[in-house]
Amino acid sequence: MEQHQRKNEVLPGTLNLMVLKTLSTLGSLHGYGIARRIEQISGNLLQLNQGTIYPALLSLEQMGWISSKWGVSENNRRAKYYSITRAGRKQLAAEEENWRRTSEIMVRFLDPSEEGA
């Protein structure tokens, strides 16, 4: 219960960025892997309904930033593997830059004495 209260909601728009970053670091990955990775990186601080990743994956694919292919997982299970496209990398770079600037501004705003995140 206490733990749940400390968890953060996923900010709108950030899930796409997290998916793209994950795929760009780890290469081809299935939906479960992506969800796990996001949870791990966020140090389990993020309240993520794993299922919400699928509509996000579909819209990313529709925008042409990722592509998908059916494959077989490490323990022989059929799964859809997603990988980032060239357009996706471009989009990622732009959004990363954008986020970095936004968070920098937010940090300065909230705590002018401290630097970094």
Partner 1 sequence: MTRLRIFFHRLLGLFLRSKLERELEEEIRSHLEMQIEDNLRQGMSPEDARRAARLRFGGVEQVKEAYRDKGRLGWIESLWQDLRYAIRTLFRNPVFSVVVLLTLAIGIGSTTAIFSVVHALLLKPLPYPDSDRLVRLVVTQPLGPPGQSSTGGPQRVPGGISVRELAELRSRMRSVSTIGVYNVARMTMTGGGEASRLEGMVISASIWQAIGARPLLGRVFDATEDAPEADPVIVLSNRAWKRFFQGDPGVIGRNIVLGGGHYTVIGVMPEEFTFANLQSEFWIHIGRSPSAAGAFLARLSDGVSLQTASAEVNTILRELRPQARTATFELSREQDEIVGPVRRPVLILMAAVAFVLLIACVNVANLLLARSVARQREVAIRIALGAGRGRLMQQYLAEGAVLSLAGGAGGVVLAYGGVRLFRSLASTLSRTDLEGRLPFPRIEEVGINADVLAFALCLSIGVSLLFGLLPVLSRLAGNQIQALKDGIGIDRANSGSRWRFGSRSALLVAEVALAMMLLVGAGLLIRSFLKLSSVDAGYDPSNVLTFQLVLPGGRYPVPQLKESAENLVAILEKSPGVEAAAYSVQLPMVGFRERALFRTTPAIPEQPAPGAPDEDLRLVSRDYFKAMGIRIKEGRAFNEQDRAGQPRVLLINESLARREFPGRSPIGETAYLRRDPTPWQIIGVVQDVRQFAFDRTAEPQVFVDFRQWPGVNPIGDVPNYFAVRTKGDPLSMVPAVRNAVHAIDPQVGLYNVVTMEQIVAHTISRPRLYAALLGIFATVSVTLAGIGIYGLTAYSVVRRTREIGIRMALGATASHVRNLVIRQSIWLVAAGIIIGCAGAAALTRFLQGLLFGVEPFDALTLLSVVVLFLFVAAVASYVPARRASRVDPMVSLRCE
**Number of shown-chain residues binding partner 1 (CB under 8 A):** 23
Among 62, 69, 113, 115, binds partner 1 (CB under 8 A): 62
Report how far apart, in Å, the C-alpha atoms of 73 and of each of 32, 89, 98 are: 11, 24, 34
Kindly write out the interface string for residues 28-47 of this chain, putting x where it contacts partner 1 by CB under 8 A and - elsewhere.
Answer: --xxx--xx-----------
Give the residue from 26, 82, 74, 25 showing the smallest Cα distance to 53. 82
Q: Which of residues 71-110 bind partner 1 (CB under 8 A)?
A: 73, 75, 77-80
* Cα 79 off chain centre by: 19
Site residues, partner 1 (CB under 8 A)? 30-32, 35-36, 49-52, 54-55, 58-59, 61-64, 73, 75, 77-80
